[in-house]
Structure 1
Amino acid sequence: MREPDPKPFDPVVSPLFVNAIHEELRRYDGERMGEERACPNCGSGASRKNGYQNERKTVARLVTADGPEQVGVEVQQYQCTDCGRSFQGDLSELFYEGCAYAKPVVDLCRFHAADQSASGCERTLRRQYGLLVTRETIARYHDRFDEPPEPYTIDIGGYDYSLPFLSFLFSPDDDGDPHFVIQRSTAIW
């Protein structure tokens, strides 16, 4: 995959909001993923762990004041004990099959590409979310999936945001505590 050209950090919304999105995505950085699954070659359920992939799988690329930053997860490898083939663990919880970015970023591309050109969507992702995704990748995701995700939007500062994306990032942890608290009309991260 071709690396996207560096873009300036020029958010049209509060940098605090963009930084909150970045911090939530950074929580995945370095996390180990890949549950055991059946061998894609022979279908056997007999496998053993076989280390981690050399390169991390990209969750998102962030646009920061210091330049682009890649957030990625480590992918567990398995080896089938019947046929000997090595394969990735199951990543379906966070990634669509064959997509370079995590599901929330792919869905965000599809959400904005439904009513914008790929170039406009690239600009929107960079300026409203601080995400770096090439227009070619956005167009590929738009063409690959039949329908855009649910068009639930929320207006923040005069800009439309994907509510499913924000709820994915800012939903409560397993312990039930939210990542941010809204007091009056001010969000505190």
Structure 2
Amino acid sequence: MEHIKRMEIELTELKDKIDKGQSFLNKEKANPVFTDERQRELLESQLWYMNMYYNSLKERIKYDSNIINQNYKANEVNKPIRQVLQVSLIEFKENGIANVLGCKEYCIHDNKIPNELVKSFIVEEQVITERVFGKLNTVLKYNLLNGFTGVESTSCVDEKNYSEEIGRDILRKRIEEKIWYGLGFALGMAKNEVVDIKHNFLKEKVKEFVAK
């Protein structure tokens, strides 16, 4: 954009010089005071080249501006859409009063569950190696952000190849896949309008998110 601004300034200054030069030439043609015939011919030729450069510069500005606008539009199309996945627990009583028992929002983009969000759900884990029915097993106990706890385990065919680190990576990936599946299920419900955002509380939460 900066080079276009510079060209626009140059274009304005050039137009001013052309106008002044043309005005001077017209006066000299009508009543020669400062120039002879040869000087007027040279000035007319100079103004012609200046006009040619002016038109070329004008076209350059137009072309470059279109390119920048096209790139901007393309970037806007490809720009990730900021979204929020909201999980709410609302209790509706017979008298029409609604109590919000809990609400949590998760930032996502383009209808995708980011890996960072999935990983953030695992707040604590314990890895141990123990024998189960005589075989070495990697056991991973975990605690999730929502308070859910669980245990995953894996074994090996040959103890010579056993590695607690490899077992931990396998189990952690298994846990992350479960978290991803749960978040994806919730996102699928919201995206396909199974969940209807029509309660005032939800509308207010959406307004709060947009205002952030």
> What TM-score comes out, normalization by structure 2 length?
0.22
The one of the two structures with greater contact order (alpha-carbon pairs below 8 A, sep at least 6) is 1
Q: Which has the larger radius of gyration?
A: 2
